[in-house]
Chains A and B, each alone.
Chain A
């Protein structure tokens, strides 16, 4: 099996309705806000569903809905679930 190439995209670019996996946090995110996101349950390789992108990014992670401003969602990197276009 050849290693799978997965593009990392900013969470803010993912259309509503798609399920993705968290790939990492950008350095631009304030350390305290990063701790806050981890505490909300966002961790690498965890699945999350994008519910909407306007006026804010709203995601569903483990039955918890989180609203994130684009200034934050732009610096959260995600990978699309395998099998998706």
Chain B
């Protein structure tokens, strides 16, 4: 915990999850944030210069369900409030759920920071017959209140124009007399022992009494030994309260928000639900939910697996790279460079261009592009949170709740990105199990494309065996992990945002941002991997490695000894390793192809995801996971080799 304050003046966007903060941030700064129609997308604070004033820094904070902070997202937002030199807050609220918005306003108002309230998604509120008397609300709060539709840019320039009018809001409530006494006593002690340069002592006292760990940490660092006095005040307040103090304080704020929202809101009577609501209900319907899910999966497979991995890869790899670019580049390098080893390094068997760039651009890029487009459409539509409802029962088997389906599905695009997204899960236990399963049994889109391309060429049975093997490993290892990792499963409670027609611009922006992340990560690693393979080959080490790996690779897995090279590549990126196996597909029997793909899929995903595992779980846990995953991959691969040879067909 640091008590240093940032010196640059900042405007903080704060609000509940999924109310459009990130879209508004993009409108105000032009900077890309991973924007989704599901709660919890922004897992870190993002900052960028404001378009309207480059000297001002705008911060997009993670969505907060409530304050005092509890989840990682809420703690990140609270840290930003404590540590930034805040010029003003822009609270982004959901216009159709004013009561919840004002519950947060009631707490922010106590911090004494200038505030502007943007009531976003005004169009959705209007469609539901909800009308907010904005002038009346602005008068009650004493701050500018604006109606916005961030996705369409409506009200955004008005919002920018009203920022100079931001004021600290009027207090929305006086708490119960006994609570007020405790708050005043604690606020006085904070003002004396650990004053904050921007935040009001009263607001900090309410957060501290409410059990906010970030505020407690900040006060402890600031007050030093005197923090014990503050702790004593909190303990006393807790003992004096008839019930759970944080819950009692929260209830009073909710009641105040309820009263204010009732006075400024009008609801028109609606005879029937909106079409979007009906679609949303069908998607999680006990009867129709699963067929709809299967239909969605089929469409995604057609788009990614057939169009991306077959049609586009064919066009790029065979026609463009092998047909035109590689011969031309090889001729050019051979003519221009007279040093044989440099020619080899660039366009040889393990050439940076012929292997590294060709793998990255011709094989992987079309697959990840189509996957991220499909994922973007699904998340923009609001389908993904509903998927958590459908998947919840299945995930209960592995000690998780349906929320874990979001990183898992994202993992089918990029496991590294998905590992970061596990922060949306509520408990450290859920995060650890999900990260382990992501690393073990969720193939990223690049690898999935290679697997489907290779096994699809063998037979449908081969694809089916690989798929069943992955599901079996996922369920079995999840089941075991859930029993070995201490802690209990948290039942799912989740908001289902409205179903919306995806906006092409949003989907393209998201896909562009994700592809940029992916390419920045993948190309250097592919080039490094190719270089290592080249060096091992030139130094004569590759044959030695192949010989050393022979008992395991040929004896246990039943693969040709040359497959060892693919596993060396797999240590860097498992899709790189899978591509290595793909390249020798013509010399593999059906059993060898399936066993090779099962083993390489269960490998650690890639160096970048390993680094992300270290970042999220610490070095010890990450290494422990690797120590389980690598032998486990070979164990399962070998068992399938034995079983398939006995049951399926001769190799």
Contacts and interface: CB of A to CB of B under 8 A. Distances in A.
Interface of A: 30-41, 43, 46, 51-52, 54-56, 58, 62-69, 71-72
Interface of B: 65-66, 70, 94, 96-97, 99-100, 103, 125, 128, 130, 244, 246-247, 250-251, 254-255, 258, 277, 280-281, 284-286, 289, 388-390, 392-393, 401, 490-498
Given A31-B247, A33-B490, A52 B281 contact: yes
Given A31-B244, A35-B250, A43-B251, A64 B493 contact: no
B97 A63 contact: yes
Nearest to A66: B495
Given A31-B244, A39-B65, A41-B97, A66 B496 contact: yes
B392 A55 contact: yes
A68 B281 CA distance: 14
Most buried by A among B66, B125, B130, B390: B66
A69 B251 CA distance: 23
Contacts of B492: 56, 67-69
Contacts of B250: 35, 38-39
Contacts of B496: 58, 65-67
B99 A69 contact: no
Contacts of A33: 490-491, 493
Most buried by A among B103, B130, B388: B103
A30 B258 CA distance: 24
B285 A43 contact: no
Contact of A40 (B65, B244, B285): B65
Given A33-B491, A36-B65, A40-B493, A58 B247 contact: no
A39 B130 CA distance: 20
A43 B262 CA distance: 14
Contacts of A52: 281, 284-286
Nearest to A39: B66
> Interface of chain A, helix or strand or loop or mixed?
mixed
A35 B247 contact: yes
A65 B280 contact: yes
Nearest to B65: A39
Given A31-B244, A69-B392, 15 more contacts: A31-B247, A33-B490, A35-B246, A35-B247, A36-B65, A36-B66, A36-B493, A38-B247, A40-B65, A41-B99, A43-B254, A52-B284, A56-B492, A66-B493, A69-B401
A62 B99 contact: yes
Nearest to A75: B491
A42 to B, nearest CB: 9
A38 B251 contact: yes
Given A35-B246, A63-B97, A43 B493 contact: no
Contacts of B389: 55-56, 58, 67
A52 B250 CA distance: 28
Contacts of B246: 35
B68 to A, nearest CB: 9
Contacts of A51: 281
Contacts of A67: 284, 388-389, 492-496
A39 B100 CA distance: 7
A72 B65 contact: no
Contacts of A32: 70
A55 B289 contact: yes
21 contacts: A35-B247, A36-B66, A39-B65, A41-B97, A41-B100, A43-B254, A51-B281, A52-B285, A52-B286, A54-B286, A55-B284, A56-B389, A56-B492, A62-B99, A63-B128, A64-B96, A66-B493, A66-B496, A69-B491, A69-B492, A72-B493
Most buried by B among A65, A71, A72: A65
B496 to A, nearest CB: 4
Contacts of B497: 65
B130 A63 contact: yes
Contacts of A71: 491
